[in-house]
Amino acid sequence: VNKVLNANGLFIAQPVYFTRPPASVQLFFERFYPFMWSGELNGLPFASLSQAANNGGTRMADWEMSKWAFTRSFKYIGGLPVHMVQYDEACVKARDLGKKLAEAALEDAEERFTVTAFDKYMGTDGNPWDCLDGYVDDLTNGTRSYKGSLVEHALSHGTVKKEEAVNLLRNAAEELKLMLQYYEVGDRVKAKEHLIKMRTYWSPATIKEFLDDDLNQ
- Mind listing the pLDDT tens digit for each residue in 166-212? 999 999 999 999 999 999 999 999 999 999 999 999 999 999 999 98
Residue 104 has pLDDT above 90, yes or no: yes
pLDDT value at residue 15: 96
- Domains annotated for the chain, with CATH where assigned, are 2-116 (3.40.50.360), 130-215 (no CATH)
Residue 214 has pLDDT above 80, yes or no: no
Residue 217 has pLDDT above 70, yes or no: no
Residue 69 has pLDDT above 80, yes or no: yes
pLDDT value at residue 35: 87
Q: How many Å apart are CA 175 and CA 187, to the nearest integer?
A: 15
Q: Are 149 and 141 in contact (CB under 8 A)?
A: yes
- The percentage of residues in the chain with a pLDDT greater than 90, rounded to a whole number, is 87
pLDDT value at residue 125: 86
Average confidence (pLDDT) over 94-122:
96
pLDDT value at residue 140: 98
- Our CA dihedral for 126, 127, 131, 133, rounded to 10 degrees, sits at 90
Question: Tell me, what amino acid is at 22?
Answer: P
Q: How many Å apart are CA 42 and CA 73, to the nearest integer?
A: 5
Average pLDDT of the residues of the chain:
95
**Interhelix angle 132-139/188-206, nearest 10 degrees:** 50
Q: How many Å apart are CA 103 and CA 41, to the nearest integer?
A: 18
Sequence-ordered list of residues with C-beta below 8 angstroms from that of 70, at least 6 positions apart, any chain: 76, 120, 127, 129, 131
